[in-house]
Structures are given as structure tokens and as C-alpha cells.
Chains A and B, each alone.
Chain A
């Protein structure tokens, strides 16, 4: 009763094209090629190159660079120095950004304020550092004003030390932290706060029990991005800091290895260590983020 039909394999099931389309591969997928090539050439290859280079030291075994880094206090202390700058700056920026974001959320002229706040980003760290060098220096306005007011008798030492770099990182990092925070804060349905108010929660309770838990995941992301930015501090640490002492950050160690000792292998090892420290902090923060609610921050289903 059944006729013999020579069914070729291709027509028996869905075609290869259909199978691929089912898994989300079609012609549009090719649009990812430029980005893939870009990241391959400019990120993956240099990273892999650096990683391998770091295991090919000038002298000694393949781990010699790392052994040298972790046995020399002058080198491994740079991790502490960098963390001592990056973590307090990031935390303080976040703490400052939250109340400002809450206020700005209600403002009509958000764009003007946002523009003002974004200026430090566009000016770049070097310009800000140069500006601060003058402003916070012994003959700068800041010290002169304080002295004129009689608040201090000698100029405060605010540059060429930890606090100069701290101030510079705070100024250049704040707009970035603020913009991210603002986007998370405005993403929360204001009806939730109103509901909290009608249920008897005062302003602090509303922040503590409604906003804060909903913002924590966003804060974690903001912290990570701001932290990574602060951790790679270089120009202000040199210009405003004490590059041989308290603000000898890890990027300075890498720079010196590469351009003073001409030891690219060692420099790569320092860069790898730097990346690993950042990664460890970011992973820790993102893991902590998993402890909080991460669903949509609106009251109803979307």
C-alpha cells in the first residue's frame, strides 16, 4: 500500500537552516562578526599574549615574575596601596551619589545638573589632577581661604600624598557613580514608596525597607564598575600623589617594570595580578548580590 518514495535526508526533517534558526542562528547572527573580530583582536589576543608573556620571565622559571612580585614588599604593597585608595573612594562615591540621585530624581531640570556633573568625565583625569594641584596646593585657593579665615595657620598638605589622589579619584569617579545610581533609583516605581507611606513607614523606613533592598543589586554593579575604574588609577597617583610612597599604586609598578626596567614580561605579570585582584573583588561583590532580590522593581507584572 505504501509507495516507495526515495526520500533524501535533507527533506526528511527540517533543513539545516531551519534547525539553526530554531537555535537562534540566522543571517542576522552575522552582524556579531565585526564585534567579535574587534574583541578578538583588541582584547582576547592582547590578554592571551600578556598572560603567556608573564610566564616567560627574563630569568628563572616560568613563575619567577610572580615569585618576585610576592616576595618583594615594594611590589606587593602596591596591591594594598591601590585597594586603600579604590575601595574607600568607591564606597564614598556611592554613599554620596545615593542622596543626590534621590533628590535629582524629583527635579525637573535634570539635564542641566547631569551635564554639570558629567563635565569632570569629559575633562579627563589629567586636567582635573592639574587643577587640583593648584587649587589644593600650599598656595592654592583652598588653603589661602582657610588661612584668611583663620581656621589654619599653616597650609594643609593636600597634594603629593594620599589625600590628593583620593580627592581626584572622588571628583572624576563621582559623575560615573552618580549616573549609574540615578538610573537605578529612577527605575523603581514611585508607587512603592507611596504605598510604604500609606502603610505608616516614615522616610527612613521607606528607604531602609523598600528602596535599599531593591537598589542593592544595582549598587553592586555600580560598585564594581566604579571600583574597576578607581583601581586602575595612574595619572592622578603620579601627579597628585606620592608615587614612591603611599600612592605607589599597582599600575605604577607595571609602568616601571615596562618602561624603566624594560621588563615586559614582569610588567605583564603585574598587569595579570592587577586583573586578578579586580576580578576577585568583583566576583565577591557580585556573589553577595545574589543574596538580594533581583527581579523587576515594579509593583505589578510587566
Chain B
């Protein structure tokens, strides 16, 4: 592979913060990224994930902290001096340049010889599987093809770090899955180091080696997809990881790694995600898959069914408790609206969290 990315060991974000006037878009972000890692910055819109990326790229100056590439401080450099490849949400392809010129732009700016540019552009085109499209203008390409050009343009300059800002959000669902696999393939083939911003947890879980969950400009949790999926550290992270049921109650007892929460008279025992003092408000987070229609008794909630939709192998239903608290669950058989059922959860599949701050 002739596209050989620059060698380095790690990228460090050291207490990076960014204020917009009185608003703290980012507060004290600390993160170390090893070479070859695929990092996803995950969070709802407005959480600061794109701001983080723009700070790393140099498109936004940081207002506190520093960014290091091994022993070189980069946050004081202009974006053009950092040499990080960036893929933009709307691709930002130069509309007046054809595909080859777009991809070769970075090399041309670096004063690379023409023959060398042609050779590298050819390689980049074949890496993103766009051979034969080089003469087209961006306006003549489909969304997926434009995205491939944007990726090729970012990697052909052989950047130490590839930054991607929600690159798949403008594509339709099918293409998104396809490009997701492509992005991971390109990352692996090049041995690239990638920081990928997304608000889609599926994307983050399937692509990343490590996920950084951000909320309100603060890092909430860093971990592998498995760690985050199985053991989210906070209720908001759990929410992002697909725990659709968040049932508020009161902690009544706590025994090593189990906490019992009383919810409208029912007692649900779950894994202690965050320690909650006895008597304090607590949330039980349960995935809809883990809340199943069953017998009354241990770890079950009594509810009234609202809807039950057939989803192929089973039914996905919504129900409410006496107080009106809504739940999403699954059922092996059809249910009538208004039916009273018991929803059961395994002790190991319910997570208990403190009230979010």
C-alpha cells in the first residue's frame, strides 16, 4: 500500500475546553488516542462532539487546554499546518473541480510533483472503489459516491489522524450500512487513526474500538463498545445504549452489587450501575428486549397493555403502569389493548442508576 500514513504514537487532548461567550461547549476534555484506534465521539446534538472535532482539526481555536501529537503541541497550529484529514458532514467537495482534482487538491497544495499526484490519486480512487469516475464533477455523483470522494481526499494526504464529522448522516439507510463497512475497511487497510463523530449508537458500536460518550460538553464515559453496551456508567449513557425503559423509584436496599428499587409498590432488583443511598431516588434501566411478559412475583411489574405490534418473530408492546409511567417490552404472543399483564426482568439485565445531575 503506497498510501502510508504518518507514524506517531498517540494524540492527547489535555483538558481541552471551548467557550462560546458564556456557553461552555466543551469542558475539560481529557482523552488519549493510540495510533490505529477507531474512536467514536457519541452524543446527542449539542453535546459538543462536533466542537471537539473542529478543535482537533483547528477549525475552532480551543479556549483552554492543549492538544498534542506525541511531543508536539498542535492546538496552536493553523489547520493547514496540522495536516489532519477531515471528512465533512456535507462532504464539502469543491464543486468546480472534478473528482481527481478534488482528491489531488491536498497534494497539489503541498507542491507534490504532478506524476506523483496522479499515481496517488489513482490509488485513492481504487481504495474507495471509484475507478473510472475521476473526470466527473461532484454534482454528477450520488451521495454515496460523493462521500467516497470526500474520504479519498482526506486520506490521500496521508494524515496522522482522520477526522470524520457525521459522514453518513446525509445518506439513506441502506447506503449508510454499506458505507459504514467501507469506512471500517478503509481504516483497517490503511492502519489509520480515526476520530468519528456520530449521534447514532449503532454506528458507534459497530465501527469503533472505543467510544467516547459526551453530554453537555463533558465526557460521560469512555470504553469499548462492549463495556458501554453492557455496563453504562450513567443513566444518560444507558439511554444512548438502548435502555429504553427508565423507571423512577426509590432505593430500598443495597447488597454488594445489587440494588433493590421500589417502583409503585413493586420491588425490582438490579445490578448497581451507580451506588444510590437508601431512600434516595433511583432509576432502573431496562432494555425493551429484556422486559418480557411473564408470571407475577419476583422482579415483575404489573402493567396495562396499550399496543402490541407484530415484529416477525415476536411482539413489541407498549404499556403503562398505574401512575401512567410508560414501558416498552416484548411478548412471545399477541396481547389485547387494555389487558393486565406482568412484565418480568432478569435481575442481571436491569441496571440501577442515581438520578442524573
Contact = CB atoms under 8 A, between A and B. Distances in A.
Interface of A: 189, 191-192, 194-202, 205, 209-210, 213-214, 292-293, 295-301
A300 B141 CA distance: 10
Given A192-B95, A199-B153, 17 more contacts: A194-B92, A195-B94, A195-B153, A198-B57, A198-B58, A198-B80, A200-B83, A200-B106, A202-B78, A214-B95, A295-B95, A297-B95, A299-B90, A299-B92, A299-B93, A300-B143, A301-B146
14 contacts: A192-B95, A194-B79, A197-B58, A198-B163, A199-B85, A199-B154, A200-B83, A201-B105, A209-B105, A213-B96, A214-B95, A295-B95, A298-B95, A301-B143
Interface string B85-128: 11010111111100000000110111000000000000000000
Contact of A200 (B57, B80, B88, B92): B80
Contacts, number: 101
A221 to B, nearest CB: 17
A210 B94 contact: yes
A199 B59 contact: no
Given A298-B90, A298-B95, A301-B143, A197 B137 contact: no
B315 interface: no
Nearest to A199: B106
Nearest to B88: A191
Contacts of A192: 92, 94-95
B249 interface: no
Nearest to A300: B90
Contact of B59 (A197, A202, A205, A301): A197
A221 B331 CA distance: 67
Contacts of A191: 88, 90, 92
B28 to A, nearest CB: 25
Contacts of B109: 196, 199-202, 205, 209
Contacts of A189: 90, 92
Interface of B: 57-59, 78-80, 82-86, 88, 90-96, 105-106, 108-110, 137-139, 143, 146, 153-154, 157, 163, 170
Contacts of B110: 200
Contacts of A200: 80, 83, 106, 109-110, 157
A299 B139 CA distance: 8
Q: Which of B91, B92, B146 has the most CB of A within 10 A?
A: B92
Nearest to B156: A199
A100 to B, nearest CB: 23
Contacts of A214: 95-96
A292 B97 CA distance: 11
Nearest to A191: B92
Contacts of B163: 198
Q: Which of A189, A295, A299, A300 has the most CB of B within 10 A?
A: A300
B129 to A, nearest CB: 20
A296 B95 contact: yes
Nearest to A298: B95
B93 A201 contact: no
B59 A299 contact: no
A20 B280 CA distance: 75
A188 to B, nearest CB: 9
A139 B138 CA distance: 60
Contacts of A195: 86, 88, 92-94, 153
